Amino acid sequence: MTNPLLASSGLPDYTSIQPAHAEVAVRYQIDENRRVLHELLAAPTRSFESFIIPFEIQQHRLNRVFAPIAHLNSVVSSEPLRGAYNSCLSLLTEYQTELAQNTQLAAAYAAILSQEASTLSAAQRRVIEHALREFHLAGVSLPDTQKARFKEIMQELTALQASFEEHVLDATQAWSLHIENKEELAGVPAHVQERASTIARERNLTGWVLTLDQPTYLAVVTYGESRWLREQLYMAWVTRASDQTPSTPEFNNTEVILKILKRRQEAAELLGFSHYADVSLATKMAPDAASVLTFLKDLSAHYVPAARAEFAALEQFAEGPLSAWDVSYYAEKKLQKEHSVSEEALRPWFPLSTVLNGLFEIANRLFGITVTEKLGVPMWHADARYYEVYAADQSLIGGFYTDLHARENKRGGAWMSDLIGRLNLGGQHAYPVAHLVCNFSPPSPPAVSLLTHRDVVTLFHEFGHTLHHLLTQVDFPSLAGISGVAWDAVELPSQLMENWAWHARTLPLISSHVETGEPLPADRLKALLGSRTFHAGLAAVRQLEFAMMDFELHARSAPEQGAELQQLIEVVRTRVSAIRPPAYNRQAHSFTHIFAGGYAAGYYSYKWAEVLAADAFAAFTAAGVFDRPVAERFQREVLSQGGVVDQMNAFVAFRGRKPEVAALLRQEGIAA
């Protein structure tokens, strides 16, 4: 059997990849990597060129094999694919821990650093230093029994985190609400009703079936006039995969969360740390836990009073007390009254094709790149597209896929993932390639896909990550793009790009009426720009609540019971929330960022990077939103550097000083 995952060049043949290919390919490549490493360690002499470069190449090959498997599991999940993915995860975790605990390998890196210290480039030195840090964080110096336990913990965490994400997806897809009275859908956008009607027909039902995909949920709680309907969707959303959904007890994540926290704490203690937060911070810009807590506390001092004042004003506007499922509905009405802006009303001005063309034009003006769709590339779904990216001299830089609409068996949210990292070593070369994935409302045939402005901001955000991956000039895969970048700096390029979705000079580039082709009218443009700071306090404290909950869960002993977990969450909410959720709220049970993703004890990174991004964008607004010298400096000092430089030093090289929080407060209209 020819295995498409083992192709050593070009793009994956997504039409040919089957679940049966996955474990076979991963096992084969891991065995190859082990064979090469054995030969490298057996060689009589070792140098950066003869040892580390071949090792980097082998690791790049393994990542290239697994990345398509992980991607497919996220966008076209199925039981066979899920099983194959989990088997591969187990193999990879075992292999990566085995590498990171290999004392011979660690000694080889340390010896090369010592022997070649005077001749190593900055990038070469960073490759070694980064690896040595990873050896330390994997317990390379632990006694054998503790090493073995650490390895077991990593395997257990891999399985637990995969289960957490599967439970969220399964619980989301298991819920639906059959509506037979059209009056209950009053206010719900027509395109959502049309999709609900289609789903009902597919299930041989009359009326409408609402599902729990994110576009449907947001549409109902924002526009649905039926308070009962809003509460049904809200309750289903915030109790996904929890003890509050007795109809699907098999998806309850309570015990999974407790086990994840316990295993992370045990791993931290094995490594000599007090708690897992310290393990997390070993690879971040923030120096220690106290600095993170001070940062969050300082932001809270600005945002909490603003958020509580905003909520009080919203209740005054609504002429009565509001429950959590009322907030988005009345906020939208208040926004329309004060700024004459409605996300749904703006959809006709944001056809997906127009937004993409405008986004690519903005990237061209800033960084001199050209983005061109390439046809005939094998895809996993009809929604997917592939784009090539060229430099100003027409040389190929890399490429990226898009998959932008919500559907069944696709993970919710939006993300950029690394498919192929940049490689330029040992006579081998690979262009960087990424996946850019969102979950926008699918068009109702034969309609054009229309975005809300919120969707536009999301697309710009993920494209910022994509640029970070593509515009790297680092030749070593372990440090290229976002690899090796401090996690609390990874969001800088993405959050910086959001600003171009909010600027008077750029909005005409990304908006044109789907029927008339006219740009966003001046009055609507002015209203949209004026709405940017609307409820900025409420939006910020929601992020601060998540960040504090995440950090405090990981900066102490793990809770033993679900009640203890919920009590800690309630303490955080009391401290920073403006809106008191109902007792059944279990938002943590679907918090994939920290229990299945890479943000454990790092969710604060979003606010941390917002400070960096707002301050960075201030440099653009001072010089001109399309100022090429500023853009070139950002590309040179930040986007191209990957993990080679310290991220604070990179920011200072771009901005000329350390970041200041005042720029973010000004941007969001919060009094300093």
Number of structural domains (the chain) is 3
Could you say which of 216, 240, 264 is where a domain stops?
240
80 and 201 in a common domain: no
C-alpha torsion 633→639→641→642, nearest 10: 170
188 and 110 in a common domain: no
Residues 98-103 have a mean pLDDT of 96
Q: Is 522 exposed, middle or buried (0-12, 13-18, 19+ CB in 10 A)?
A: exposed
Q: What does the alpha-carbon distance between residue 372 and residue 508 come to, in Å, rounded to a whole number?
A: 21
379 and 234 in a common domain: no
Domain range for 236 is 175-240
Q: Is 120 exposed, middle or buried (0-12, 13-18, 19+ CB in 10 A)?
A: middle
Those residues with Cβ within 8 angstroms of residue 401's Cβ, 6 or more apart along the chain or in another chain: 379, 384, 385, 386, 387, 419, 433, 434, 435, 436
Q: Is the pLDDT of residue 672 over 90?
A: no
The Cα-based distances of 99 to 41, 93, 134, 644, 651 in angstroms read 12, 10, 10, 22, 33
184 and 108 in a common domain: no
196 and 123 in a common domain: no
**Count of C-beta atoms within a 10 Å radius of residue 548:** 24
133 and 193 in a common domain: no
Q: Find where tokens 């526009």 sit.
A: 223
**Residue ranges of E strands in 421-470:** 423-425, 428-430, 433-440
Containing H/E element for 403? strand 396-405
89 and 211 in a common domain: no
Both tokens of 146, joined, read: 């503790």
Both tokens of 263, joined, read: 């295993």
Q: Please report, for the domain that includes residue 69, its CATH number.
A: 1.20.1050.40
- Let me know if residue 455 belongs to a domain: yes
182 and 52 in a common domain: no
Decide: 638 and 620 in contact? Cβ < 8 Å: no
Q: What does the alpha-carbon distance between residue 587 and residue 603 come to, in Å, rounded to a whole number?
A: 15
Q: Is the pLDDT of residue 286 over 70?
A: yes
Reported as a pLDDT band with limits 50, 70 and 90, residue 246 is confident
Q: What does the alpha-carbon distance between residue 303 and residue 295 come to, in Å, rounded to a whole number?
A: 12
Both tokens of 305, joined, read: 């009073």
- Let me know if residue 256 belongs to a domain: no
122 and 193 in a common domain: no
478 and 362 in a common domain: yes
The Cα-based distances of 76 to 195, 224, 321, 419, 441 in angstroms read 20, 30, 42, 16, 17
pTM: 0.92
- Let me know if residue 287 belongs to a domain: no
Q: Is the pLDDT of residue 19 over 90?
A: yes
Q: What does the alpha-carbon distance between residue 437 and residue 414 come to, in Å, rounded to a whole number?
A: 5
**Count of C-beta atoms within a 10 Å radius of residue 223:** 21
- Let me know if residue 278 belongs to a domain: no
203 and 111 in a common domain: no
Q: Is the pLDDT of residue 671 over 80?
A: no
Reported as a pLDDT band with limits 50, 70 and 90, residue 653 is very high
Res 247: pLDDT: 83
Q: Is the pLDDT of residue 424 over 70?
A: yes
Distance between start and end Cα atoms, the chain: 65
- Let me know if residue 210 belongs to a domain: yes
Amino acid at 37: L
- Let me know if residue 42 belongs to a domain: yes
Those residues with Cβ within 8 angstroms of residue 658's Cβ, 6 or more apart along the chain or in another chain: 648, 651, 652
Residues 464-469 have a mean pLDDT of 98
Amino acid at 238: V
Q: Please report, for the domain that includes residue 517, its CATH number.
A: 1.10.1370.40
366 and 229 in a common domain: no
Res 396: pLDDT: 98
Residues 505-516 have a mean pLDDT of 95
Catalytic residue ranges: 462
Could you say which of 240, 268, 291 is where a domain stops?
240
The Cα-based distances of 167 to 95, 157, 163, 173, 595 in angstroms read 26, 15, 6, 10, 12
- Let me know if residue 259 belongs to a domain: no
- Let me know if residue 313 belongs to a domain: no
